[in-house]
Amino acid sequence: MQHELLLEIFSEEIPAKLQRKALENAKSTFANILTRYGTIFGDVSSFVSPRRLTVVVNHLSSKTEDMMEEKRGPKITAPQTAIDGFLRSNQKTREDLIERDGYYYLKIHTKGIETKTLIGDIIENFILEMPWPKSMRWYLEDQEILSAFWVRPIRSILCIYNGSSLNEHIKSVDLTTCSYTYGHRFLSTGKLEITDFADYRNQLESNYIMLDFERKKSYIDNEINSMAGAMGLYFTYDEELLDEVSGLVEYPFASIGAIDEKFMKLPQEVLSTSMKTHQKYFTLVYPGSVMAPYYGTITNIPPTKIMCEGLDRVLRARLSDAMFFYNEDLDVTLEAFAQRLSNVVFYDKLGTVAQKVDRMMSIASTREEHRAIALSKADLLTQMVGEFPELQGVIGEIYARCQSESNEVCIAIREHYKPINANDDLPQTVTGARVSFFDKLDTLVGLLGIGVQPTGSKDPFALRRAALSVARLLCDFPKTLLDNESLSWYVETLITAYSDQGIALDQDTLQIVLEFIVDRLKMYMCERLSLDTEVVESVIRSFDSLDFDYKIAMSKARRLQKLTKLEEFQIVKEAYKRTVGIIGENVNELKTGSIDDLRFDDQYMVELQNTIKNQESDQEDFSKIVTTAKAVLSACDNVLINNPSQDIRLRNLKLLNKFLIDARNIIGA
C-alpha cells in the first residue's frame, strides 16, 4: 500500500535569503534519507515560508523492501570457533555457507519493516542532515543540553502519515510530533488541526499563509504591476528582490508609496539601491525607464494609512542620509580619493590598492585606459560606496561624469567590475573590457603567485570567478583584448611590476596562472557551452603550450563538436587512433614536408598518397579527410607499415604522419 507523508517543521523566522536554497536542499536531503532506509516512494515536494519548512512525500510504501544481502564471514582457513560464531550470530547452519575467493559468505534475507516505525528516525536524521548556510542551537530545558543545529529554534513538528497524526519524540530538539500547525502570526489565531496535505494547504490559505514560494513571487509581481499600471507606471523587475520579499512575508499585501520630490535629484541608481537595500522597496518608472517619484512595497498585513505614512517617513530618513553622502562626496574629486588609495590594503602580502593601480598601468596602452585605471578604484573611499558597497563602479561613473571625464573613461570605470559572476554580461566597450581584464589578471597573478589557492568549495577571494571572467573576456568579447601581445606577456609584465614594488612571487607563477585560467576555460566550455569534455580536452591539447588564442580554441571546439555528431567522424577517429598507435615513439624520426618525392610500390600506399595530395587542395573539406581516413584504414589492414626495411618503414610512417597533420588541421584537434 502507498501512503502520503506530511512533515512540517515550524520555527522562528527563517531568513529570507536562505529560503530558496532550503527548498532544493529539503527535497534532496529527505529523498536521500528515504532511499537510505529502503523505502519506496513517488515524488518528494518541499515548501517554505518565513516560519515553516514543509516536506510532502507521495506514494510512500507502507513497508520497506525485503532485502537479500550477502555477508562476508571469516576466511576458509579460519579456526572452527570463528566459523561457528559467524553462523550463530546470523542464525544459520553450516549448509548455508558459500565459499568464494577464500572466504565464507552467507545470504541474509531481511524482511521489510513497517515504514510507520521508521518515521521518527527519518525526521531525526532530516533535522541533523538538512544543510543550512547559517544555523544555531538553543537550550533544551528538560534535557539541560543544547539542541541539534537548525536555522532557527524549532517550536513544533507536524507529522501526518496516511491521514493520521504520529506522536514521535524527536530527541535532538526535544519535541513530540503533533497534528496541528499555526496560521498567520497576526491574521490568524489558534491551532489548525490537519488531516492531510490537501487540508493543510487549504487551511493555511484560509489563514493567510501562501505556501508555494513561486506562486507568492508571481502574485507579488502581478499585484505591483497592476497597481503601477493603473498610474501609468512600470515595475522594474528585480529577481533578487522578489525572492527576498517573498521570503519576508507569509501573505503579501501590495501598496504604492511616494518619494519626496527633493530626493529625485539623486541619481537613479542611488535611489533604487537605497530603497532596495534598506527598505526592500521596488522601483517604479515612467515609460522610457525614467524613474518615477513612487515605489512599490509589500507588507505582511493589509496596509493602513498610518502604516503607509510610516513607510514614507522611514524612506525619507534613508534618502536624507543618501543625499548627505552624495553631496559630501561631490565636494571631493575622484583624483583626491584616488590619492588616498595608498592607505587601503589590497592584500596583506601584495601591497595597497594604489600599488595595484600602478601595476595595471604597466600593461595599459592607451590614454583612455590609463585614465580609467587611475580613477577605477577611487570610489572605494567615497561615503556612498561605504554605505552601499554594491555601487562600486556605478558611483565612480556618476562622479566621473560630474567631473567632465570623457564618456569612454566614465563607462570603463563602471564596466571594469564586469562580469561580476558567471551569468553577468560582459563589458560593452573595449576600454572597459581591457581594464576589467587587467584588474582580474592582476588579482590572479598576485594571489596565485603567493600560494593562495581555492580549496574545495572554499574560494574566499573569488579566484575561480576572476579566472572565469578572464576566459570569458578573451573568448567572447567581440574584439581581441590582447593588443598583439600574448597572454603570457601580460602575466610576465605583471610579475615584473610586482617585483619592482618589492613583492616576490613564486618562480612558477606564469605556469600556475596559465594553468588556472585554462582550467576555468575548460569548465566554461563544458558546463556553460555544453561542449563535450573529450572535445574540449582534444582542442586544448592541440596547442603547443598553455598560451594560445582563446577565440581560436573556442571556434575549433565548436566546429569539432559539430563534426563529432556526424556518422563519418567515427571513421576519421578510428584512422587517427590507429595511426597514432603505429607511429608511437617513431614520431621523432619523422620530418614534416612534402610527400611528393616519396615512392611506393604497394598499391594501397600509392592510393593513400594520391588521396592525401587531393586533400591538400581544400584543407577545410571534411568529406575529403573522411576519404583519406578510409584509405588509411585500408592501408593499415593490408600493408606492413613497420616494414623490416628502414627506408620503406620511414616512407610509410611519413605518409601516415601527413594524414595526422591534415586531420588535426581540419578537425581542430
Residue 365 clears pLDDT 60, i.e. is over it: yes
Taking the C-alpha atoms of residue 584 and residue 444, their distance in angstroms, rounded to an integer, is: 38
What is residue 344's predicted lDDT score, i.e. its pLDDT? 94
The residue type found at 475 is C
Percent of the chain with pLDDT over 70: 96
HSE value, Cβ hemisphere, 13 Å, CA-based, for 587: 12
Taking the C-alpha atoms of residue 217 and residue 201, their distance in angstroms, rounded to an integer, is: 17
What is residue 181's predicted lDDT score, i.e. its pLDDT? 97
Beta bridge partners of 7: 55, 159
SS3 state at 430: helix
pLDDT tens, residue by residue, 420-430: 888 899 999 99
pLDDT band at 500 (very low <50, low <70, confident <90, very high): very high
Taking the C-alpha atoms of residue 187 and residue 208, their distance in angstroms, rounded to an integer, is: 7
Directed axis angle between helix 622-638 and helix 603-615, to 10°? 170
- Region for residue 448 given its phi and psi (left: phi exceeds 0; alpha: psi -120 to 50; beta: otherwise): alpha
Q: Cell triple for residue 589?
A: 624520426
Average pLDDT over residues 498-526: 95
Residue 545 clears pLDDT 80, i.e. is over it: yes
What is residue 375's predicted lDDT score, i.e. its pLDDT? 97
pLDDT tens, residue by residue, 618-638: 556 677 788 888 888 888 888
pLDDT tens, residue by residue, 8-17: 999 999 999 9
pTM beyond 0.85, yes or no:
no
HSE value, Cβ hemisphere, 13 Å, CA-based, for 23: 15
Percent of the chain with pLDDT over 90: 68
Q: Which residue has the higher pLDDT, 160 or 100?
A: 160
DSSP letters spanning 141-208: TTTTEE---BSS-EEEEEEEETTEE---EETTTTEE-BSEEE--TTT--SEEE-SSHHHHHHHHHHTT
Average pLDDT over residues 385-408: 95
What is residue 373's predicted lDDT score, i.e. its pLDDT? 97
What is residue 665's predicted lDDT score, i.e. its pLDDT? 76
Average pLDDT over residues 86-96: 85
Average pLDDT over residues 516-534: 92
Q: Cell triple for residue 214?
A: 513561486
What is residue 572's predicted lDDT score, i.e. its pLDDT? 82
What is residue 617's predicted lDDT score, i.e. its pLDDT? 53
Return mean pLDDT, the chain.
Answer: 91
What is residue 611's predicted lDDT score, i.e. its pLDDT? 81
The residue type found at 323 is M
Q: Structural domains in the chain?
A: 2-64+115-206 (3.30.70.260), 70-110 (no CATH), 213-304 (no CATH), 334-558 (no CATH), 566-667 (1.10.730)
Q: Cell triple for residue 253?
A: 499585501
Taking the C-alpha atoms of residue 302 and residue 25, their distance in angstroms, rounded to an integer, is: 32
Average pLDDT over residues 296-317: 95
> How far is the CA of 554 from the CAs of 422, 478, 575, 621, in angstroms?
17, 13, 25, 20
HSE value, Cβ hemisphere, 13 Å, CA-based, for 649: 10
Taking the C-alpha atoms of residue 57 and residue 161, their distance in angstroms, rounded to an integer, is: 10
The residue type found at 528 is R
Average pLDDT over residues 450-472: 92
Residue 129 clears pLDDT 60, i.e. is over it: yes
Residue 416 clears pLDDT 70, i.e. is over it: yes
SS3 state at 561: helix
What is residue 19's predicted lDDT score, i.e. its pLDDT? 95
pLDDT tens, residue by residue, 61-85: 988 876 667 888 889 888 988 888 9
pLDDT tens, residue by residue, 629-662: 888 888 888 888 888 888 888 888 888 888 877 7
The residue type found at 6 is L
pLDDT tens, residue by residue, 577-614: 888 888 876 665 666 567 777 788 778 888 888 887 77
